[in-house]
Copies of this chain bind each other. A is one copy, B any other.
């Protein structure tokens, strides 16, 4: 018979100072039972922003710029026409109007992409198209609607203002102009601007690699038959998808058998990553081994336990000397997903160079009353409904952190502060939005 062992996960949902035990090494600076704010601060202080990599501009959407984009081109490349019409010298058309039209000879044409054959002399005009460079000597464009659109000779019916319908060379940008600042998250329009200045590769912050470790003899992969008592490992798949959602690169190390050698073999495959995320499945017993192996590879635990529910039994450490972050997440599916959101996601976003590390938060009215014990911040999954008096957040079904399917209910997490013991229906709450589709609209909205 195996001896009773310290556990994490279910039991770990207990109180600080209980018999809960961290899954990773306990030497050094370890603190216990932190508030969410304290835990997030410690994690983010230990999180580096990753260095640069140079990638194809067409792959750069969503990435954060490292070097400023400085224009290598001038746009427009020269003074050019903003209209289809006729290049003129204003002095030739003083006093011209529809009632007092004036005919000028059309001496050449400047097509788009072409250039003027020669300078425009006094009393001459040239056919010109949008974007085509203004001939030397010309100082305005008469748009074709203000003419008879003649081919050999054209009747002008307006007196143009100086530089009317002319775009200045370099109006948009000059060579050397700084167009996009470091720290910018590149969107579709930025990629258009990159193309326009001739930039096809671009320097952005690297994407973190995240090694995901799963462990426990009761776990099987989703494509394998489950023997009696076995369940499918799902946390790693949720975690990998949460990583991909923000552009991080998951490395799934697989399910480690509950033996130190097996755990060490898998874990060592993840030591080159920027972060290691261990999720316990719903098993117990593997944690002492994981901790033993982590200590062996140099992990120093920084804290254990966060005053929140779900998610108390969270451990955070750092592997020295590499600085790899280690997150020991609680094993219940909902606890795993929620603690990833609150702690791992902001750290990974910091690594990628983001400044806005946190999810959107909206204010809503509670659709139902809530009772809890003081001493922990609660995250309550809520479904959100837009009503005439605002957004109503209603707790979504079974809130048990062990119920797999409860993860997919509701679009956000209502935040019930640490010290609060009850909230009545109608009370205002902050709701962290997990599903950005919440903001999308079935109706146009304007």
Contacts and interface: CB of A to CB of B under 8 A. Distances in A.
A374 interface: no
Nearest to A86: B4
The 4 closest A-B pairs by CB, nearest first: A113-B218, A192-B238, A361-B445, A188-B241
A195 B229 contact: no
Interface in A423-446: 430, 432-437, 439-446
B171 A440 contact: no
A111 interface: yes
A112 B37 contact: no
A167 B402 contact: yes
Given A193-B408, A234-B193, A7 B129 contact: yes
Contact of A232 (B133, B198, B434, B442): B198
Q: Is the interface of A mostly helix, strand, loop or mixed?
A: loop
A220 to B, nearest CB: 9
A203 interface: no
A9 interface: yes
Interface in A212-236: 216-219, 222-223, 226, 228-236
Interface in A282-310: 282-285
A78 B226 CA distance: 12
Contacts of A193: 234, 404-405, 407-408
Nearest to A346: B444
B77 A228 contact: yes
Of A191, A216, A228, chain B has the most CB atoms within 10 Å of the CB of A191
A29 interface: no
Interface in A332-358: 333, 337, 354-358
Nearest to A430: B446
A325 B66 CA distance: 39
A433 B187 CA distance: 13
Of A19, A73, A237, chain B has the most CB atoms within 10 Å of the CB of A237
A131 interface: yes
Given A10-B84, A232-B195, A446-B432, A218 B408 contact: no
Interface stretch (A46-54, A141-149, A155-163, A261-269): A141-149
A437 B199 CA distance: 24
A2 B111 CA distance: 9
Contacts of A132: 218, 229
A40 B151 contact: no
A437 B349 CA distance: 12
9 contacts: A112-B284, A173-B405, A187-B241, A192-B333, A195-B222, A195-B232, A199-B222, A356-B437, A358-B441
A369 interface: no
Interface of A: 1-4, 7, 9-11, 14, 18-19, 37, 40, 57-58, 61, 73, 75-78, 80, 82-84, 106, 108-109, 111-115, 127, 129-133, 143-145, 149, 151, 167, 171-173, 179-180, 185, 187-200, 216-219, 222-223, 226, 228-242, 244-245, 281-285, 333, 337, 354-361, 402-405, 407-408, 415, 417, 430, 432-437, 439-446
Contacts of A144: 4, 11, 19
A226 B73 contact: yes
Given A1-B108, A231-B76, A440 B358 contact: yes
A282 to B, nearest CB: 4
Given A14-B145, A113-B218, A337-B188, A195 B233 contact: yes
A61 B197 CA distance: 34
A196 B220 CA distance: 10
A113 B281 CA distance: 11
Nearest to A224: B198
A196 B234 contact: yes
A295 to B, nearest CB: 23
Given A11-B130, A229-B133, A283-B113, A241 B444 contact: no
